[in-house]
Structure 1
C-alpha cells in the first residue's frame, strides 16, 4: 500500500469468522460489535438479519438477543416497523461524546500516574511496540485493537470502579469513530506520536502531562472524524447533483 489515505475497500476486506456454539450469546455480540467498529457495518446501515445469520452460522433467536444488547449499548437502533440499523451519531452528539471521553481519558491518566505499577507500564510498553509493528504493516485492525488495549489499561490503572464503569459505557459508543479517525495516514501517524508522549509521561509519573496529552488526543480524533464525515457528505451531495 502507498503512503496515502486508506481506501474503503481495503478496510472492509477482513473475513467474518463463523461463530462457535460455546458462549454463543457473548460471541455473537462480540462479532457484531467488531463489525461495527471496523466499518463492516457502517453507521446508518439497515441490518439484514438473514445475511448476518448466514455469515455467523446462527439462527435468528441468538441474533436478535445480541441486537438487544447492542441497542442497550447505543450501537444499534431497533424500530418496531423498520428493524435494526447501526446507530449514526448526529454532529452535536459526536462532538459532545468526544468531549466527555476526553475528560474521562484525562482523569484516567492523572489517577494512573499515581497508582500504576511497573508491571502495568511494562505491559503497556509491550502493547505499544506491537502497535508500531501493525502500523509498519498497514494493519489498521491490529493497530486499533492494541491501541485500545493501551487506553484500557491506563483506565484500569486508575483504580476507580465508577470511572471504569462510565469509561467503558461511553467508549463503546465511540469505538467505531475512533477507528475511523485513522483512515488518513497523517492522522494515524500523529496518533502514534501521541502514544510515544503518553509512555514518557507514564514513565515520569507526570499525571498533569499525561492528562493534557490524552485530552488533546481525543479532541484530535473528534476533529478527524468530523473532517471525514464532512468529506463523505460533500461527496454524496455531488453524486446526487
Structure 2
C-alpha cells in the first residue's frame, strides 16, 4: 500500500519545464501515489502541476522510455505494473551487473571518482539519520549510477541506467520498513569501506548481496500487487 504521507506537488516553473514535470510525475510513481496499473488522470495532474497538456504528454513519453509509464493510443496512459517474475528477473540481472561494476570500479576508477562516491555515501547517511526518505533514495540512485560509470565500461553503464530506470519504484519500496532501510544502509557502509580500500572482491560481493536482499525486501509487496 502507498504511504499516507504524500510529498506536496509544487507548481511547475517555466525554467526546465520538461525536466521538472518528469521529476514530479516520477516521484508520484516512486512514492506510490500513482499506483501500478492505474490510469493517469491527465486533467487533474496538469491542473496540479500548472502546465498545459503538451509538456505533460512530453513528460509521459520520457517516463514511458524509462519503463515507468505505458502509453495506450486512444485509451490514455497508465502506470506500468511489473509482474513478480519481471521484478525478480530485473533485480537478479542488476545484482550481477552491479557486482561486475563494483569489481571494475575498484580497478579503474580515479581517486576523484572514488572520493565523489564516498561523499555521496556520507550525504546519504545524513539524510538517513534525518529519515528523509525520498532525497535519500535519489542520492542512492545516483550512487549506483556513478559507481557503474566508474567501472570504465560504457555498455555496462548504459545497461545499468536502463535497468535502474525500470526499477525506480521497486527500489523505493525496499526501504519502506525501518528495519529494511537500516539493513540497506549497513550494506552501503560496507560498500563505502570496500571502495575506500579498493577491494574489488569485497565490493562485488556486497553489491550482489545488496541487490539480492532488495528482492527479499520487496517480494511480498510485489506478489500482492500481482494477484
Q: TM-score, normalised by structure 1?
A: 0.87
Supply the distance in 1 between the matched residues of 2:216 and 2:26 (Cα, whole angstroms): 23
* Mapped pair 1:87 → 2:95: no
Q: Which secondary structure does the structure 1 equivalent of 2:13 belong to?
A: coil
Task: State which of 93, 101, 112 in structure 1 corresponds to 2:105.
Answer: 112
4+ residue runs of structure 1 moved beyond 4 angstroms? none
Task: State which of 35, 43, 58 in structure 2 corresponds to 1:50.
Answer: 43
2:118 maps to: 125
Provide the aligned C-alpha RMSD in A.
2.0
Supply the distance in 2 between the matched residues of 1:227 and 1:194 (Cα, whole angstroms): 21
* Mapped pair 1:180 → 2:173: yes
Q: Which secondary structure does the structure 1 equivalent of 2:4 belong to?
A: helix
Question: Displacement of 1:73 after TM fit?
Answer: 2.1
Question: Displacement of 1:108 after TM fit?
Answer: 1.0
Moved more, 27-36 or 198-207: 27-36
Q: TM-score, normalised by structure 2?
A: 0.92
> How many pairs were matched up?
227
Question: Displacement of 1:95 after TM fit?
Answer: 0.8
What are the residue-to-residue correspondences of 1:1-241 with 2, within 5 Å?
8-10=3-5, 13-230=6-223, 232=224
Question: Displacement of 1:38 after TM fit?
Answer: 2.5
5+ residue gaps, structure 2, are none
Question: Displacement of 1:14 after TM fit?
Answer: 1.4
Question: Displacement of 1:7 after TM fit?
Answer: 7.7
CA contact (8 A) 2:145 2:157 kept: no
Supply the distance in 2 between the matched residues of 1:222 and 1:126 (Cα, whole angstroms): 27
Supply the distance in 1 between the matched residues of 2:142 and 2:182 (Cα, whole angstroms): 18
Supply the distance in 2 between the matched residues of 1:41 and 1:58 (Cα, whole angstroms): 18
